[in-house]
Homo-oligomer: A and B are copies of this chain.
Amino acid sequence: MDDEKSYSVDKIAPQPTIRRIPSYLRILYEYQAEGNQWISATDIAERLSLKPIQVRKDMSFTGITGKPKKGFLIQDLITSIRNFLGWTRASDAVIVGTGALGSALLGYKSFSHQGLNIVAAFDKDPDRVGKTIRGMKVLSMEELPELVSRMHVRIGIITVPSEAAQEVADVLVSAGIEGIWNFSPTKLKTPSSVVVQKEDLCSGLAVLSVKMGARHSNGEDGRD
């Protein structure tokens, strides 16, 4: 049963690598805007306070090859990374939940650079339906299945309160969505064919808190 896949024989990238790659892409655009054509792993590492070896290793997963002494051709590296991430063209997405976080994401202009194109926003609340948020008219949940299937939308973003999240996920799944970006703190039940990525702001806050606490239990006081 493990007849080799045609070309995905390459070792798959570790998740930490995948998470770092968008920041590399950002640096590349910056570096290019500064008029450069080449960039080395050392350059990238410096801007992000990483070690060059790690950048090099990460890059190797994207399939890029560089030139000793020069580094990587920025344009090629950008292409390579965008291919790796599947960000060659922005995927259409819908967002469900037009509260504060939802409208923040709607307004996040640079998603287009990040392979995401939000094409519609939905809300259950009749008071919100019909309103325009960041230039986008809020649609009712009833309109979701038809729009998703007509436009072949692959990604659904959930920014509703946690009580409503599962219900929304069910609607998205039966509308044929393939991936869910879940900003509610709820663990969703979905068929295994659907990819779910959960964001949890609290985990970052926990890291900050523990680091700050550790500093203090070391007897320090925050003064220098």
Contacts and interface: CB of A to CB of B under 8 A. Distances in A.
A32 interface: no
A197 B187 contact: no
Contact of A211 (B107, B179, B208): B179
Interface in A10-52: 12-13, 15, 18-23, 26, 47-49
A146 interface: no
Given A23-B185, A85-B210, A116-B205, 8 more contacts: A5-B217, A15-B207, A22-B200, A23-B203, A49-B187, A100-B134, A101-B108, A195-B215
A134 B220 CA distance: 36
A214 to B, nearest CB: 7
A206 interface: yes
A222 B193 contact: yes
A205 B22 contact: yes
Contacts of A145: none
Interface in A63-93: 84-87, 91
Nearest to A222: B178
A5 B218 contact: yes
Query: Interface residues of A toward B: which range?
Result: 35 or more
B91 A100 contact: no
Contact of A210 (B13, B176, B191, B204): B13
Contacts of A115: 205, 209
Interface string A88-120: 000100000001110110111001001110000
A206 B85 contact: yes
A197 B181 contact: no
A2 interface: no
Contacts of A15: 207
A124 interface: no
A113 to B, nearest CB: 9
Given A19-B203, A214-B12, A181 B195 contact: no
